[in-house]
Amino acid sequence: MNIETEENNSKSNRKTTRNDSDLREDLDSETYRITQLRGTEAAFTGEYLDLKEEGTYRCSICGAALFSSDNKYDSGSGWPSFYAPLGEGNVGENVDHSLGMVRTEVVCSACDSHLGHVFPDGPPETGLRYCINSASLKFEKVDD
Ligand SMILES: [Zn+2]
């Protein structure tokens, strides 16, 4: 009896984590750690930190357009920084109590991947600093 119940439980568990194990296979471990386990890449290491080309920064997991090079600026923080998302509703926000701080986590609205955090110390345009991991983004250059 008990065994049967456990089997059913593990079956339903497997269903809900199926997506996760697919991602774990498809992604390199650093991208998986950052986007799925809310990790942070080391400061000044991300591939998009100093990128100044014009284009769109998409979600590295689902491809949703999240940020534009128009809103990117050099914050000096060590991570790609934007003062606004590409459009309202492209990114979602969650309160994050980890590391003994209260921060606002930024996620992809489409697939819920972790992107980074937003801080209230941005430039005058919005006063916001979206501090985003390069591993959470995939840059698409503007073709003209
Ligand atoms: Zn996404």
User: pLDDT for 33-61, tens place per residue?
Assistant: 999 999 999 999 999 999 999 999 999 99
- State the pTM of this model: 0.84
Domains belonging to the chain, first-starting first, are 1-144 (2.170.150.20)
Tens-digit pLDDT profile for residues 67-92: 999 999 999 999 999 999 999 899 99
Q: Is the separation of the CB atoms in 110 and 120 below 8 Å?
A: no
The predicted structure's pLDDT at residue 144: 65
| Phi, psi of 74, deg, nearest 5 | -90, 105
Between the CA of 80 and the centroid of ligand 1 the distance, in Å, is 17
Tell how far the Cα of 66 is from the centroid of ligand 1, in angstroms.
Answer: 8
User: What pLDDT is stored for residue 8 in this prediction?
Assistant: 45
Which residues have a Cβ under 8 Å from the Cβ of 138 and sit 6 or more positions away? 57, 58, 59, 60, 63
**114-136, pLDDT tens digit by residue?**
999 999 999 999 999 999 999 99
CA of 87 to the centre of ligand 1 (A): 14
CA distances from 87 to 113, 120, 129 (A): 17, 18, 15
Taking a 5 Å cut-off on Cβ, the residues next to ion ligand 1 are 59, 61-62, 64, 108, 110-111, 113
* Tokens representing residue 125 in the block: 């345009």
